[in-house]
């Protein structure tokens, strides 16, 4: 029997992720959304590309979570983007409600699934999904480090005029301004990047990586990134469904690793059929550890806001 992957949210990220996974041809796909006709139409369009791309798996669109039953992986992309006049707390609590409801429904029908959370604010949404789902920590994972690392590798490859496949790097920490690109562990064809790129240029590339999402939003004027995020989702799904044991930077619940306890923070993980098989602990300098702790503190701030609950209207 084929594996089954559910994508919740038929927006740009969700639909593009569904397309990428469909084209892999190793799993049937279910695309879910609350808007009637939206997931059905997009799924039908993707399905009709099958003869051209050489995929004979199934993809269906639905508004019913019953159709997701028995999924091996559930990717949650549903949520709202921050709108003008919307505070950070407004965004947090709006998406908290959405992700909480979606998590309960998907876990009810697929209790053995691995959850991949994509909705922002990413780390806080992972924390909430983990608490609501009742699943073990290794089966609730956030897609952030894969995306942030891909951006870092892209910018370095552009700077050096090399293939991004030859750039090896990790970006740790929360998905936002406090992410931690590990320059010391970054190599190009096995050569330390610090030997190839001046320090000032590296600092500029690190800053551009941190601002990667905002740069795209500013260019698009409306909307945000979805091609690279969906590619990151597909890479994680590959490693889980195909049991590839890839070492990928993901948002994981830490229970003492890196000196951090009880929080979702981006770290290197090994992904296989059961989700996170291992959290890889690499040696950090005092400065790197301080940056990672600062990133964890930023996540903790959001978690504290969540615990206090939605502010009462005046």
Q: Are residues 46 and 103 in the same domain?
A: yes
Q: Are residues 164 and 176 in the same domain?
A: yes
Q: Are residues 106 and 234 in the same domain?
A: no
Q: Are residues 91 and 173 in the same domain?
A: no
Q: Are residues 208 and 104 in the same domain?
A: no
Cα 212 to Cα 18, 119, 128, 249, 305: the distances in Å are: 23, 16, 25, 17, 26
In this structure, is residue 131 part of a structural domain? yes
At 127, list the tokens.
């924390």
In this structure, is residue 34 part of a structural domain? yes
pLDDT at 85: 62
Cα 20 to Cα 29, 83, 89, 230: the distances in Å are: 10, 28, 33, 8
pLDDT at 58: 98
In this structure, is residue 209 part of a structural domain? yes
- The question of whether 175 is a catalytic residue gets the answer yes
Q: Are residues 128 and 276 in the same domain?
A: no
Q: Are residues 155 and 10 in the same domain?
A: no
How many domains would you assign to the chain?
2
Catalytic member of 109, 128, 175, 245: 175
The domain that holds 226 is classified in CATH as 3.90.110.10
d(CA 289, CA 142): 21
In this structure, is residue 50 part of a structural domain? yes
pLDDT at 92: 87
CA-nearest of 74, 78, 70, 93 to 39 is 78
**How many other C-beta atoms are found inside a 10 Å radius of the C-beta of residue 231?**
16
Q: Considering 112, 142, 172, which residue would you say is the last residue of a domain?
A: 142
Q: Are residues 292 and 169 in the same domain?
A: yes
The domain that holds 127 is classified in CATH as 3.40.50.720
Would you give per-residue pLDDT tens digits along the chain (314 residues)? Answer: 899 999 999 999 999 999 999 999 999 999 999 999 999 999 999 999 999 999 999 999 999 999 999 999 999 999 987 665 656 667 788 899 999 999 999 999 999 999 999 999 899 999 999 999 999 999 999 998 999 999 999 999 999 999 999 999 999 998 878 899 999 999 999 999 999 999 999 999 999 999 998 899 889 988 889 999 999 999 999 999 999 999 999 999 999 999 999 999 999 999 999 999 999 999 999 999 999 999 999 999 999 998 888 766 54
d(CA 289, CA 123): 18
pLDDT at 314: 46
d(CA 183, CA 91): 32
pLDDT at 273: 97
The residue segments making up the domain with residue 117 are 3-142
Q: Considering 107, 142, 177, which residue would you say is the last residue of a domain?
A: 142
pLDDT at 87: 62
Question: C-alpha 61: how far from its chain's center?
Answer: 22
Q: Considering 142, 164, 198, which residue would you say is the last residue of a domain?
A: 142
d(CA 35, CA 16): 17
In this structure, is residue 314 part of a structural domain? no
pLDDT at 239: 98
Q: Are residues 208 and 129 in the same domain?
A: no
In this structure, is residue 93 part of a structural domain? yes
Q: Are residues 8 and 117 in the same domain?
A: yes
In this structure, is residue 312 part of a structural domain? no
In this structure, is residue 102 part of a structural domain? yes
pLDDT at 83: 63
């Amino acid at each position: 029997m084929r594996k089954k992957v559910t994508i919740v949210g038929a927006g740009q990220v969700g639909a593009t992720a569904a397309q990428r996974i469909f084209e892999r041809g190793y799993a049937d796909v279910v695309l879910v959304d609350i808007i009637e006709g939206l997931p059905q139409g997009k799924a039908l369009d993707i399905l009709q590309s099958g003869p051209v791309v050489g995929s004979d798996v199934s993809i269906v669109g639905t508004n019913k979570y019953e159709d997701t039953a028995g999924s091996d992986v559930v990717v949650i992309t549903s949520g709202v983007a921050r709108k003008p006049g919307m505070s950070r707390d407004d965004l947090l609590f709006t998406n908290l409600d959405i992700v909480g409801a979606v998590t309960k429904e998907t876990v009810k029908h697929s209790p053995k699934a691995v959850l991949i959370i994509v909705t922002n604010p990413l780390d806080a949404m992972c924390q909430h999904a983990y608490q609501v789902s009742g699943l073990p920590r290794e089966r609730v994972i956030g897609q952030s480090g894969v995306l942030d690392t891909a951006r870092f590798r892209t910018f370095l490859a552009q700077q050096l005029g090399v293939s991004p496949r030859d750039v090896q790097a990790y970006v740790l920490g929360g998905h936002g301004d406090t992410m931690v690109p590990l320059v010391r562990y970054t190599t190009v064809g096995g050569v330390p990047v610090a030997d190839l790129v001046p320090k000032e240029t590296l600092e500029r590339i690190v800053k551009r990586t941190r601002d990667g999402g905002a740069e795209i939003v500013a260019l698009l004027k409306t909307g945000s990134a979805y091609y690279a995020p969906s590619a990151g989702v597909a890479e994680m799904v590959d490693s889980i469904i195909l049991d590839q044991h890839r070492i990928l930077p993901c948002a994981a619940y830490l229970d003492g690793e890196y000196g951090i306890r009880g929080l979702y923070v981006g770290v290197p993980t090994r992904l296989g059929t059961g989700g996170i098989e291992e959290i890889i602990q690499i040696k950090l300098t005092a400065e790197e550890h301080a940056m990672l702790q600062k990133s964890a503190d930023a996540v903790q701030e959001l978690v504290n806001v969540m615990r206090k609950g939605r502010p009462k209207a005046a």
